């Protein structure tokens, strides 16, 4: 009987430890809002990169240019979302970063009739 | 059917099974987190408006070394020999706009006023100037290069407006050199007089920008 109690105690301890790991993992998942701010996991850059955008003569965005993208980001996916004053998405586009020497400018195209006047923020993500 | 008795050994086995299930959930969650590298950031844009600093000059083929910069009236003339062109320029990098090269135009509207025509009215075409020039020094012999396709055209007396958002947006980023106004109707000695820098109706741009 004493041996059984010891086994039971060990199993209970293992259970509680496992439950703790599971709780921590699910907390990490549930609290991770990607649009809420910066969270660095990727190793290719650790700083917010500056971007410009081009417009056509109608004032619609034709391209977003992200400046000084590190060479280490080659192969990763750069996504851009154009946001309005309510933090809502007006449109988005993405591209795979190609190889370049040193810091390079990455152009993202594919925005459809989005007036630059309505764009008050550019949201970016780099995934690899 | 035989009734299952809960013995200490069976209880321990049940708890162990539960532990493995928790461990499985934890492993799946960490796999989801570590399987993708991620970096996110946001760039806020400041909106405002301004009128870029203007300068203009007339260059005369008949006086190829003389500067006619920033006068009250500038004349475009077309004839077999002795043409004259008018250059109008804007500097969004200078005061009052003082825009950095990372800024951009949301909209830009150019206003040009023609005060008089003679033997016309002829069509005046505005070609984008592609090299730097200075209104205080430019002459026919030192005229800057300009493109082959006009951004806009006009004819006759009066005030006209033109949407020039794309040229200004590109000019903010790469330097803006303005337009070369050329009579493109023919060699009929017609003149088109434009209100210049020293007049109240000087060329102007209403620029809405972001930076």
Whole-complex ipTM: 0.77
Of B16, B25, B166, the CB nearest to A56: B166
Q: pLDDT (tens digit, 0 to 9) for every residue of chain A, 128 residues total?
A: 555 556 555 555 555 444 444 433 333 444 444 444 444 444 688 788 899 999 999 999 999 999 999 998 999 999 999 999 999 999 999 999 998 877 789 999 999 999 999 999 999 999 98
Of B23, B33, B106, the CB nearest to A116: B106
Report the residue of B18, B20, B21, B42 to disrupt the A interface, i.e. the one with the largest count of A CBs within 10 Å: B42
Closest chain A CA to residue B48: A117
Residue B9 with chain A: CB contacts under 8 Å? 4, 7
Instruction: Report yes or no: B89 and B106 within 8 Å, Cβ to Cβ.
Output: no
Cβ pairs bridging A and B (under 8 Å):
156
Dihedral angle of Cα B72, B165, B178, B57, to the nearest 10 degrees: -10
How far apart, in whole angstroms, are the C-alpha atoms of residue B165 and residue B115? 25
Token code pair at residue A41: 């996991």
Of A1, A12, A55, the CB nearest to B166: A55
For B159-206, write each residue's pLDDT tens digit: 999 999 999 999 999 999 999 999 999 888 899 999 999 999 999 999
Please, what is the Cα angle at A109 between A106 and A110, to 5 degrees?
155
Q: Omega before B121 cis (within 30°)?
A: yes
- C-alpha separations of A107 from A32, A119, B21, B46, B158 in Å: 28, 17, 46, 21, 42
Token code pair at residue A63: 């391209």
Closest chain A CA to residue B101: A52
């Amino acid at each position: 009987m004493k041996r059984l109690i010891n086994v039971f105690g060990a199993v209970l301890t293992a259970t509680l430890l496992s439950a703790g790991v599971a709780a921590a993992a699910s907390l990490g998942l549930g609290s991770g809002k990607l649009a809420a701010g910066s969270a660095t996991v990727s190793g290719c850059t650790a700083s917010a990169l500056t971007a410009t955008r081009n417009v056509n003569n109608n004032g619609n965005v034709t391209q977003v240019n992200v400046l000084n993208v590190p060479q280490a980001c080659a192969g990763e996916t750069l996504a851009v979302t154009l946001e309005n004053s309510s933090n809502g998405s007006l449109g988005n586009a993405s591209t795979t970063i190609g190889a370049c020497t040193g810091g390079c400018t990455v152009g993202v195209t594919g925005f459809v009739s989005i007036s630059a006047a309505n764009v008050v923020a550019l949201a970016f993500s780099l995934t690899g | 059917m035989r009734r299952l008795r809960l013995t200490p050994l069976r209880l321990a086995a049940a708890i162990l099974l539960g532990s493995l299930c928790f461990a499985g959930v934890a492993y799946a969650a960490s796999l989801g987190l570590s399987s993708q590298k991620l970096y996110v950031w946001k760039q806020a844009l400041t909106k405002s408006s301004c009128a870029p600093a203007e300068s203009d000059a007339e260059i005369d083929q008949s006086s190829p070394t003389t500067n006619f910069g920033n006068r009250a009236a500038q004349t475009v003339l077309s004839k077999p020999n002795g043409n004259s062109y008018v250059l109008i320029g804007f500097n969004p990098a200078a005061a009052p706009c003082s825009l950095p090269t990372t800024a951009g135009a949301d909209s830009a509207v150019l206003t040009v006023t023609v005060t008089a025509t003679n033997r016309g009215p002829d069509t005046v075409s505005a070609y984008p100037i592609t090299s730097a020039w200075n209104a205080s020094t430019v002459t026919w012999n030192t005229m800057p290069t300009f493109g082959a396709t006009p951004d806009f055209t006009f004819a006759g007396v009066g005030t006209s407006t033109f949407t020039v958002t794309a040229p200004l947006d590109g000019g903010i980023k790469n330097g803006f050199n303005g337009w070369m106004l050329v009579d493109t109707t023919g060699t009929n000695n017609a003149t088109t007089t434009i209100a210049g820098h020293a007049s109240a109706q000087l060329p102007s741009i209403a620029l809405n920008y972001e930076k």
